[in-house]
Amino acid sequence: MTKKKGIPPLAIVGVGCLVLVIVAAIAFTVLLKRGVDYVKDVAENPAKLAEFAVKGDPNLEFLSSDDAKKTITFRDKRSGKESTISWDKVMEGKITVETDGQTTTVDGQGGTAITKGPDGTSTVGLGGLEKLPKWFEMPEGLSNWKSSTHTEKANGQVSGFIIGQSARPMNELVTAFEESLAAAGFQRQSKSEISDRVVLFYDAREKKRSLHITILRQKGKIAVTIGYGQK
């Protein structure tokens, strides 16, 4: 496995999950300050809750926080790397993280968080097909896309997933996917059917593309998850 530099997009790595926890802590205390007047010290200084999150992780060492600059700095004990989170623009939905001179920016607006860093760009948010690669023709009858992630790395790799629904019968929808993928040059690597679930795995090796599709009957509806990747 290739060792990554800096802090990759939040959606793909463990340290990103930690940053996400700290960001959530900061956001929570900002909302607390807006809504009610208690726990005054924390509400007026979101970094204190973020500091608590860092100190609660045995793999991290709290170094400092600056109330005026609205920053918190900590060290990852495993790698020895220091990171500084800046939240001076958190009210605008923006937070930056700097590690080893490389900066990752999190911009969360309109229900979507966009993370840009040295490894590429990651988008996590509400539904929409605009980021789904046009590798095959989507079967008819799919709608209500609820959530998605999309990552484009600096080396050209692409990955993500999207979740939607369909009113079509399950067997009919599975056949529609199989025909569409075959027409687009994908080869089926596996197909599993378990109870009310069908899982398809297809790839196009010459183009280094892969698709993982789960079709699930749930509460009278058909839920569809499409995972995709290109190396």
Q: Are residues 153 and 92 in the same domain?
A: no
Asked if the structure places residue 130 within a domain, the reply is: no
pLDDT given at position 172: 93
Asked if the structure places residue 217 within a domain, the reply is: yes
pLDDT given at position 109: 63
pTM above 0.75, yes or no: no
pLDDT given at position 184: 94
pLDDT given at position 44: 53
Asked if the structure places residue 195 within a domain, the reply is: yes
List Cβ neighbours of 182 (8 Å cut-off, separation of 6 or more): 188
Asked if the structure places residue 38 within a domain, the reply is: yes
Task: State which residues form the domain around 147.
Answer: 142-230
pLDDT given at position 106: 73
C-alpha distance from residue 129 to each of 75, 119, 184 (Å): 39, 23, 18
Q: In the chain, which residues have pLDDT < 70?
A: 1-50, 52, 90-91, 93, 108-112, 125-128
Going by C-alpha positions, the residue among 4, 12, 230 that lies closest to residue 115 is 12
Beta strand segments in 78-196, E:
82-86, 94-99, 102-109, 112-117, 120-126, 142-153, 158-166, 187-194
pLDDT given at position 29: 44
pLDDT given at position 199: 94
| pLDDT tens-digit series, residues 123-171 | 776 666 777 888 999 999 888 877 778 888 878 888 888 888 898 999 9
**Nearest 10 degrees: CA dihedral of 98, 100, 104, 105?**
30
pLDDT given at position 135: 93
Distance CA 62, CA 52 (A): 9
Q: Are residues 33 and 104 in the same domain?
A: yes
Q: Are residues 36 and 104 in the same domain?
A: yes
DSSP 8-state assignment for residue 141: T
**CATH code, domain carrying 161:** 3.40.1000.10
